[in-house]
Structures are given as C-alpha cells and as structure tokens.
Amino acid sequence: MATVHREPNQVKWVGVRPGHNGEQVLEGFIAGAINFTAIYTVPADKMFFMTYAALSNILNIGGNAYLCIYDDTPAIWRVLFGFLNIVNVPGSRSVATFNPPIELAAGYSIQVYQSALIGAIASVHGWVSDA
C-alpha cells in the first residue's frame, strides 16, 4: 500500500505551502505595456507544472487581455483564456485551475497580452521539478 504524506499541522502554513517534491512557483504582476509581457519562463533542465492561473484588470479602459503559453521557439503555443472588457468597467476576471496540471518544458513561458493599458493583473501557481 502506498504511503500518503500528511502534514501534521496544517494550521502552521501561512501563504504558499511547500510540496510536490519540487520548488513552488507563485508569480504575479501588473502588465504595464500593450502587447505581450512575460510572467514566468521555465528554467533550463526543469519542468513547470501549472495548477492555477488568473487574469483580471484594474483600470477602466476598454480592451482585452489573454493569458498565453509560448514554446521555446518562441511562438505562441496556446491561448489559455482571456476576457474582453468592452464596457469600460474595472474588475473583469478569468480564473482557471488545472487538474491534472499543465506541464511545460524548459524554455516555455507564460505571457499576458493586453490590447490597451487596462492594467492586466495576472498570476500563476504550480511547481518546478527536474526534467
């Protein structure tokens, strides 16, 4: 029978708790430019397992934003999700959890595209382990 690791004291962890036999990644930023802005690039000889991503806006300027994955060429590999903010109201938000996680190889990057300065806020969570 397989043994399952159980943390004896769940209450002691505040914020991001370690786990998955890898290094946790919690990246976030506010995009300050129109077009693409990189959030996170997978380091050499590593794999990134993305479990969560969020994208929102804080300014009231119409526009759209997308969370994209670029491969190591770099060319767009996938558009994960996004939103169209046509009503000029801040607070548009898209969130996704991935179970099983999305696996990204070394050199892949997660980027945000915004068509106007809408103050896109993005965050990703997962873990990195050896490839």
Query: pLDDT (tens digit, 9 = 90+) per residue, 79-97?
Result: 888 776 666 666 777 888 9
Q: What is residue 28's predicted lDDT score, i.e. its pLDDT?
A: 73
pLDDT at 2 over 50: no
In sequence order, which residues have a C-beta less than 8 Å from that of residue 78 and are 6 or more positions away? 68, 69
Reported confidence tier of residue 105, pLDDT bands at 50, 70, 90: very high
Query: pLDDT (tens digit, 9 = 90+) per residue, 26-66?
Result: 777 766 667 777 888 999 999 999 999 988 877 766 777 88
Which domains can be identified in the chain, with CATH numbers?
22-130 (2.60.120.340)
pLDDT at 12 over 70: no
d(CA 80, CA 2): 34
